[in-house]
Structure 1
């Protein structure tokens, strides 16, 4: 199968460089947030490249962008490959773009070799995977699989104050050459190539990770309430300090959750005090907790642990605590059939690989709800991602694309 079509490595690398100029930052990264002018420019470039090769271009009402190469049997649902083109405000040039442009290179390689597939293959660039400008992330893929109702986002404002509805409409209008289609359709499967966003592949010198699933994610907002007071005149016996309760709770959680379970993740990324005066005991402290684990039952246990530890620390400090769940993303296991397809493809290409869980959630997490889904990871330097220094070695990018091609042909030629 690999003899029929081959990835054109130089073409792929040139495309990655070209797209990295759209929203380029001075530090070598990319600021191409969802539904901005830069995002529209990247979408327009992909559409132009597709039309130049004779591929059909579509977009749906969520601005998910599709590039289609027809198969022999038009009645079969298409097989999707792709990722996203939007970035973090100070993001890297590979997150998302590597998967989307590698998928497009797969389509070109198949076209170059005049390979006939049974089903159509469509490259997809999902809308707003990152969620940096408009929250939540993965809007496009969630809407596609029916995991969310887009009408609920109608009044959303972005981090810059922009209206989601207005920016979405402007993005759709900016690409009139794309044929409009409804959100969602039957598909036969989905494959996504992505950089690992962690250090394990690079450290272990393994060029490919075959992803077996995505761990669950749960976000909590913890509010500890005490009593404001003067920093200089309020003695210890009279203090009801929510910061004391917070620090005691976090010390216990940091010492217990991750050290006690290698698969667990606990992160406090945001902490605010109110009223926030340097010389006043705060009235309340609000902090976020990001919990992750591949096992949903274990995730429940971790949430209960956070609640119990925070409640005990608050009571001991004369405070009260309120915990609100703000985000709940169940874990997902990718089907054995897709994992075996990737393993067999890697063996045919003599590429070493390891099986692994994804610590971050991707569009593939949602596609797995409606069709057989798989993911390929390639190493990234020092495990850095969501960072302007993000980097994937050229040979790793090309190898990942070649595996994506091999697996895509295995599925679409045997449908």
Structure 2
């Protein structure tokens, strides 16, 4: 691409921020209730949001449709029809009592960038596809990445029998929505159809704000291991059992939790550990807890690092339980692999960031994203946009208009200067 063309892209990108924020607000108004934002997979709000996104895609010069799982898909042709695409996207479902930006920012920014290309009559030597994935959060059926797994061809059909809180199966919900659960395979794409998948997303953390940068280049989507731990001691009267003779399951759990925090804090390579839920029984003020269950969520930028950390943490918990004469059961309940961003593609994201005049900061994503599914059919990369206070999954989630604009300018520059791997990208 010529320097003139690149400069035009940067200039026109500067007016995208206001449009993006306006649309974020419009989409954020589509919710189960006016008090709390909730836009759940296969709900009436999902359909309303899908229709709105498709209208914006069509206005941007794309052909748009709802695919077999409920993803919103738009396509902007290249210099000739049928070329492989650069796929952009994120999700448009939410958690309950959500913020407006998690997911939709990536979809709306991608649409805005395509609209800018269309306004200027720019066609590229590849197509651009924008996908709003229907279910990334997994709120309704407790199974995440359903939209992107369908596109990647890895959808697990056993999930069709999963039930929501009202007892409705996914299969039944799809039929009510107007989709055919026996044809989910029609949403699947192949590797030869995609040059790459790139997702713009709010950081959901405080690093960019701490570094005073509007955008960041993601190195990897951290894998996660989740465990359920159960410690069993002996319940007893709070006033009659001497301290030295107690087998207090809650005190043991507290020591275990402290050990997890201490271990993860001492790690300088991105390891994080969280105990997110704890239950003590019998749960009475004057009774020594006899049984405690708690969860563990361990994440790291590489699988090897995470697995070694999990093994070490489990050994520490086992040692605490043995010393305190508590029985222990600990089980893995969830495991997701780490997804590295492709070096050749990450380098192009970094080039776009630098060309827009920003410092290039590389950082891992501790949260999961649709790229974790898309890696099965395409190289992936991510661009983070700063969010205020690092707050996400919360109504206080917020992106400043100037930062939304910065993210759009970087993404637009990346699109216009994109070099498919087979045309000169490096490994």
Fold match (TM-score > 0.5): yes
Secondary structure of residue in 1 paired with 2:210:
helix
Aligned to 2:128, which of 100, 121, 136?
A: 121
Say whether the 8 Å CA contact 1:61–1:172 is kept in structure 2.
no
Match of 2:219 in 1: 212
Match of 1:152 in 2: 158
Match of 1:366 in 2: 373
**2:38 matches 1:34:** no
Say whether the 8 Å CA contact 1:59–1:181 is kept in structure 2.
no
Shift of 1:285: 1.2
Shift of 1:247: 1.5
Query: Which stretch of structure 1 is more off in the superposition, 204-213 or 132-141?
Result: 132-141
Say whether the 8 Å CA contact 1:78–1:188 is kept in structure 2.
yes
Secondary structure of residue in 2 paired with 1:353:
coil
Match of 2:410 in 1: 403
State how 1:71-150 maps to structure 2 within 5 Å.
71-146=78-153, 148-150=154-156
The gaps in structure 2 that reach 5 residues or longer are none
Secondary structure of residue in 2 paired with 1:91:
coil
Match of 2:189 in 1: 184
Say whether the 8 Å CA contact 1:58–1:180 is kept in structure 2.
no
Match of 2:391 in 1: 384
2:170 and 2:283 map into 1 onto residues whose CA distance is 31
Match of 1:254 in 2: 261
Shift of 1:391: 0.8
Say whether the 8 Å CA contact 2:32–2:45 is kept in structure 1.
no
Q: TM-score, normalised by structure 2?
A: 0.88
**2:23 matches 1:18:** no
State how 1:207-246 maps to structure 2 within 5 Å.
207-236=214-243, 239-246=246-253
Q: Structure 1's 353 and 241: CA in aligned 2 closer, same or farther, altered over 3 A?
A: same
The total of aligned residue pairs comes to: 409
- Normalized per residue, the structure richer in helix is 2
Say whether the 8 Å CA contact 1:296–1:330 is kept in structure 2.
yes
Query: Which stretch of structure 1 is more off in the superposition, 3-12 or 395-404?
Result: 3-12
1:123 and 1:216 map into 2 onto residues whose CA distance is 25
Shift of 1:328: 1.1
Match of 1:344 in 2: 351
Query: Which stretch of structure 1 is more off in the superposition, 148-157 or 14-23?
Result: 148-157
2:167 and 2:242 map into 1 onto residues whose CA distance is 44
Post-superposition CA distance 1:222-277 (Å, at most 9, x none)? 11122344444444465433222212222222222223435210100011123434
2:155 and 2:234 map into 1 onto residues whose CA distance is 41
Q: TM-score, normalised by structure 1?
A: 0.90
Query: Which stretch of structure 1 is more off in the superposition, 182-191 or 253-262?
Result: 253-262
Shift of 1:180: 9.8
Shift of 1:167: 2.5
Across the aligned residues of Structure 1 and Structure 2, the Cα RMSD in angstroms comes to: 2.6
Q: Structure 1's 353 and 30: CA in aligned 2 closer, same or farther, altered over 3 A?
A: farther
Secondary structure of residue in 2 paired with 1:327:
strand
Q: Structure 1's 143 and 281: CA in aligned 2 closer, same or farther, altered over 3 A?
A: farther
Secondary structure of residue in 1 paired with 2:161:
coil
1:330 and 1:31 map into 2 onto residues whose CA distance is 28
Query: Which stretch of structure 1 is more off in the superposition, 131-140 or 211-220?
Result: 131-140
